[in-house]
Amino acid sequence: MVFFEQIERGNFVGHIAATTVTTIFYIVRKTEGRDVALSTIHRLLAGLQICPVNRKTVELALSIALKDFED
């Protein structure tokens, strides 16, 4: 949680992939319910910038040849 505290203090700018938002919502909704999932997403959006995932992003990810494409 130290990282998120640093973002809240304005020491860092946090980023999250747009596709990760829907994944987090899905996982939290399944385990904690819809209301908690919505609250979680609102908290993330308050502190993080959203990185768009478009064709250029995917092509760049393919060219890097990571072991795990999702990384």
The one-character DSSP state at 37 is H
Confidence (pLDDT) at 58: 85
CA–CA dist 65, 42 (Å, integer): 33
Confidence (pLDDT) at 71: 62
Tokens of 10: 């304005």
The stretches in the chain having pLDDT less than 50 are none
